[in-house]
Structure 1
Amino acid sequence: MIAIDTVRKRYRSADGTVEIGPVTLEIPAGGVTALVGPNGAGKSTLLTMVGRLLGIDEGAIEVAGYDVSRTASKDLAKVLSVLRQENHFITRLTVRQLVGFGRFPHSQGRLTAADEQKISEAIDFLGLQELESRYLDQLSGGQRQRAYVAMVLAQDTEYVLLDEPLNNLDMRHSVQMMRRLHAAAHELGRTIVVVLHDVNFAARYADRIIAMKDGRVVESGPVAEIMDGALLSRVFDTDVQVIDGPDGPLAVYY
């Protein structure tokens, strides 16, 4: 479980002052939990605080019982892996070399046969077999994004945080990515928390949704509870109607 207790954060950004919280929230272990909300809602900031990429001003965050602020990095990295929005890649790395970085908390740079197996499994899981010897600067943005997600999965942690993993992906590849993440959660036993812009991807592939606005959690719960027209209209400040689609509820914006 991820436990967020009365967390606050205030800082200056290029767009002005950002204020998050207070946020008190529990994200149960297992499945896919999607963070949704308008731009500036605080989704990515909350995720990066859970992943200890950004410190908190007040409150506490625990992941699987580990206090994120106090746990040694080498120990936390075996429980929690994070993919940020901004990835600064080294062009002369191959896909396999990049994915291999996910094993560093376990191997400290000395890859074993077991590490190589985990790398191969992550590459296969993301459908990157034909690209594993290619350099990153030879790939499309979408292919690089898949390689970064493979790196995170290769870290083999129970908890996986992904900040907008559909960046640079077209519709077809976005669907494939979400299917793979859903499978990773349910077949590999991971707990995946993902920031998404499209609430319909959350409705289709997530088990739970956390709706945020103005740095606070408006509502959280199972997909069926959050996919409510009045609630989503309040979150996104526009008229939203929820209809029954062939695979579940769909949000239509007006």
Structure 2
Amino acid sequence: MIVASNVSKSYGETFVVNDVSVTIPARGITSIIGPNGAGKSTFLSLVSRLLAMDKGTVTVDGLDVTTTPSEQLARRLSILRQDNHLTSRLTVRDLVTFGRYPYSKGRPTLEDKAHIDRAIDYLDLATLADRYLDELSGGQRQRAFVATVLCQDTDYVLLDEPLNNLDMKNARAMMKILRSAAADLGKTVVLVLHDINFAACYSDALVALRAGKLLVAGTVDHVLRPQVLRDIYDTDIEVHEINGRRICLFYE
């Protein structure tokens, strides 16, 4: 499990993440939700050590992320950032191969190549494997980046807005892939999501932030209640149950 205790990050006098303590359970999908500026991406970056926290601790299965050697942490936890800009011209296979760097140090073995092929197939990229990233659609590139993270073969997979650049059909397909990764591969998947209906349909747990503070964390049924959603988003939201799933509707 991931345990964050009293985690804070500020810029000047402005707290972006303010004294957040939460436990993210092992296995399954946990989605971090909240309005713009809630601190969701910053919190995910603190958990993954992409950003240094000003206060607090984060442990992953008991390993302190601030003191665990990078090579050891990279074999337990992987992250896809929101801003994935590459200056080099790479093929899909080149990109996915980077996911094996913690193991191969740039010299892929047959085992590494098997992981690479498996990740490419898992994201349905086999026909695009030798295409350059700048020749792909935004959705295809996003799948390639997710394949790179899965290729790292970590127990914990952190994804910052993985539905970026995806239309509704492809966003649904991506969430089904991540759901399968959690169920079939035993991964703990932690997502930052803006679409609360995708979060509702595919998550096991939700963490809601607002203005850098933790408002509520728990099961989908616990969090997706009208009064709780009003506190999170500062607007009225209807919650309906259809085929055993909760669906959220905004209204005036």
TM-score range, shorter chain: over 0.9
Deviation at 1:151, TM superposition (A): 0.1
Deviation at 1:121, TM superposition (A): 0.6
From 148, 172, 193, the equivalent of 1:196 is 193
Q: Which runs of 5+ in 1 are unaligned?
A: none
Deviation at 1:247, TM superposition (A): 4.8
Report the secondary structure of 2:190's partner residue. strand
- More displaced, 44-53 or 88-97? 88-97
- How many Å separate the matches in 2 of 1:18 and 1:234? 19
Structure 1 residue 11 corresponds to structure 2 residue 24: no
CA separation of 1:70 and 1:17: change in aligned 2, threshold 3 A: same
Q: Which residue of structure 2 aligns with residue 47 of structure 1?
A: 44
* Stretches of 4+ aligned residues off by more than 6 angstroms: none
Deviation at 1:11, TM superposition (A): 1.2
| Aligned residues of 1:91 and 1:136 also touching (Cα < 8 A) | no
Deviations 1:152-206 (A, max 9, x none): 0000000010000000000000000000000001100000000000110000001
Report the secondary structure of 2:148's partner residue. helix
| Aligned residues of 1:85 and 1:163 also touching (Cα < 8 A) | yes
Q: Which residue of structure 2 aligns with residue 167 of structure 1?
A: 164
TM-score, normalisation: structure 1? 0.97
| Aligned residues of 1:204 and 1:247 also touching (Cα < 8 A) | no
TM-score, normalisation: structure 2? 0.97
From 100, 118, 133, the equivalent of 1:103 is 100
Q: Which residue of structure 2 aligns with residue 229 of structure 1?
A: 226
Deviations 1:11-41 (A, max 9, x none): 15xxx93431211111110000000000000
| Aligned residues of 2:8 and 2:15 also touching (Cα < 8 A) | no
RMSD value, Cα: 1.1
Deviation at 1:115, TM superposition (A): 0.3
From 134, 150, 162, the equivalent of 1:137 is 134
- How many Å separate the matches in 2 of 1:246 and 1:134? 40
Q: Which residue of structure 2 aligns with residue 67 of structure 1?
A: 64
For 1:199, give the aligned amino acid: I
Structure 1 residue 88 corresponds to structure 2 residue 88: no
For 2:69, give the aligned amino acid: A
Q: Which runs of 5+ in 2 are unaligned?
A: none
Structure 1 residue 213 corresponds to structure 2 residue 210: yes
Number of equivalences? 251
- How many Å separate the matches in 1 of 2:61 and 2:30? 16
Work out the percentage of aligned pairs sharing the same amino acid: 51
- How many Å separate the matches in 1 of 2:81 and 2:135? 21
Deviations 1:50-105 (A, max 9, x none): 01000001111101211011111111000000100000124521000100000000
